[in-house]
Amino acid sequence: MSFHFSMEKVLSVKQKEKETIEQELGEAVQAFESIAEEIYSLLKRKEDIENLSNHQYQQKMIVNDLQNTQRFLLSMTNKIKELQPVLQRARERMQIIQQKLLQQTIEVKKYEKLKEKQFTDYKLELSSYENKQNDEFSVLRFAKS
């Protein structure tokens, strides 16, 4: 007589779904971090160029260089503005997947708790069965003597 969890297949399916969601979350986090790093590098580069530009203002500068710098800063600003909604969508996707993972983890925990409870019940039933058999053997031995 061995223990068999009646919902073992359901539990394994739920665990596989959880693993899939964890992998999906990892990909979402990686996408978010990639976009965030790109925005950060653009902002850092823009700041460096602005500092250089301010330094050049204090010295004599060719108007053409000033115009090129301003155009470049404008294009960087536009690129940053384009990436911010993408970053927000990536953040929202990541949060949605985190919620799915939380729900799936709760589902898996429910089945694991159910399995633990059934196993505990099984051990109690087995112990009870063994005690009954021992009692019967004791009675038979007593009857023979």
pLDDT in tens, 22-35: 999 999 999 999 99
Tell me the pLDDT band of 1, cut-offs 50, 70 and 90.
Answer: low
What is the residue extent of each domain of the chain?
9-106
Question: pTM score, two decimals?
Answer: 0.70
Whole-number Å distance between alpha carbons of 16 and 132: 41
What is the DSSP secondary-structure string of 112-145? HHHHHHHHHHHHHHHHHHHHHHHHHHHHHHHHH-
40 phi, psi to nearest 5 deg: -60, -45
- Residue 72 reports pLDDT greater than 80: yes
Task: Kindly state the average pLDDT of the residues 82-99.
Answer: 96
CB 62 within 8 A of CB 39: no
For 128-145, the pLDDT digits (tens) are 999 999 888 888 888 887
33 neighbors 113 (Cβ within 8 angstroms) = no
